[in-house]
Structure 1
Amino acid sequence: MFKILVIMSLSLAAIAANLNVQKSEIIAHTEVFGDNEINPSTRNVKAQLNIDKELESIKGRIYFETISLISQKEDRDKHMYELLNIEKYKTISFDITNIIKNETNYTINGFLTLNGLKKDISIKSNIEEQDNQILLSGNFSFNLTDFKLEPPTMFFLTVRDQIDINYNIKLNKAK
């Protein structure tokens, strides 16, 4: 019986493929009331993802180091790093638990981990497959206060609670 289980496990592993990040960009957007907007981004996205046959079988983690978020204003980046407590929480991650195909796109369900807190989140996403490449793209929003982060105030200026995320992640299949 043990031999059969080992053979079945090995054959299932042979079907699955790892997905490696080839090219990526995640852009966060918020606004400072009475001033302008803040748009930090990162291209240093990493993944521990795998896929069986269908796109709906993708599971695993997409993450980046928090310090890799950079905006056009270095002084605001320092405040952002302080707010995000980068000394204690070095990464921001999204764990994909399941993907559901809709008529025109996909719903990706999983957990967003920020500030040491893990929250359920559902994201509408475009997922395209060509050759051995998969492109994930879309956007979603969350509130800082959902992750026990208080939007900062600077003098008479207040940062908006809502953060809008736009992402494009190109993955390669590797066996």
Structure 2
Amino acid sequence: MIKLSITALLLAASVYGGSLSFESGSIKAHTEVFGDSSIDPVFKKATSHFSMGDSVTSLRGSMDVSIGDFVSDNSKRDTNMHETMESDKFPKASFEVKEVVAKGGDNVLLKGTLSLHGISKPLSFEGTLTQDVSKVRIKAKSSIKMSDFGITPPKMVFLTVRDQVDLNVDVVLKR
């Protein structure tokens, strides 16, 4: 009887704890320039290195994206964006979750470090983190300045792309 209880407990722990892998979703960036207000490139692929126990506040780890996978609706703009971000020299960006603060209900604050363009800086995302038996969903927002990461906002003739980039994450991780 005790052996059966321990086995059941270990099986339950394996369902609610352990590693989480990227299943689907996107990480979108938004910035603006006069005359082209919808500059919205997106990542649809990522690699996650997360683990989580039975509580959403136990989420720890990181998610990486390849800068070459960053695409918008304009291939010429994508080429310029990859050049501006020096994707050949800095091929990856990563966000490491160091703390999850519960804010009531499914609302959380994800505190961590963003590594981009060879520079690492503290960053927090505000949003929701929900879970069921087989999946965890993160929907969160934040913003950065390109110049904080050593990236000069591109110019097009007399127009300059806005330095601020709004980030929207909507990813599903599987257990």
- Shorter-chain TM range is 0.7 to 0.9
Secondary structure in 1 aligned to 2:32? Answer: strand
CA apart distance, 1:16: 4.2
- When the two structures are aligned, how many residues end up with a matched partner? 162
Contact kept in structure 2, 1:61 and 1:95, CA below 8 Å: yes
In structure 2, C-alpha distance between the alignment counterparts of 1:53 and 1:107, rounded to whole Å:
18
Structure 1 runs of 4+ aligned residues shifted over 4 Å read 12-16
Contact kept in structure 1, 2:15 and 2:134, CA below 8 Å: no
**Counterpart of 1:65 in structure 2: which amino acid?**
S
CA apart distance, 1:37: 2.4
Contact kept in structure 1, 2:40 and 2:72, CA below 8 Å: yes
Q: Structure 1 residues 159 and 132 mapped into 2: Cα distance closer, same or farther (>3 Å)?
A: same
Could you list the runs of 5+ residues in structure 2 that have no partner in the other structure?
A: 1-12
Per residue, is there more strand in 1 or in 2?
A: 1
Percent identity between the aligned chains?
A: 28
Secondary structure in 1 aligned to 2:68? Answer: helix
Normalising by structure 2, report the TM-score: 0.87
1:23 to 2:9 alignment: no
Secondary structure in 2 aligned to 1:39? Answer: coil
**Counterpart of 1:167 in structure 2: which amino acid?**
V
Secondary structure in 2 aligned to 1:38? Answer: coil
Pairing of 1:153-168 with structure 2 (within 5 A): 153-168=155-170
**Counterpart of 1:29 in structure 2: which amino acid?**
H
Q: Structure 1 residues 78 and 24 mapped into 2: Cα distance closer, same or farther (>3 Å)?
A: same
CA apart distance, 1:32: 1.3
Could you list the runs of 5+ residues in structure 1 that have no partner in the other structure?
A: 1-11
**Counterpart of 1:18 in structure 2: which amino acid?**
S
Normalising by structure 1, report the TM-score: 0.87
Residue 39 (structure 1) aligns with = 40
Secondary structure in 2 aligned to 1:146? Answer: helix
Contact kept in structure 2, 1:35 and 1:157, CA below 8 Å: no
1:112 equivalent among 103, 111, 114: 114
Pairing of 1:73-92 with structure 2 (within 5 A): 73-92=74-93
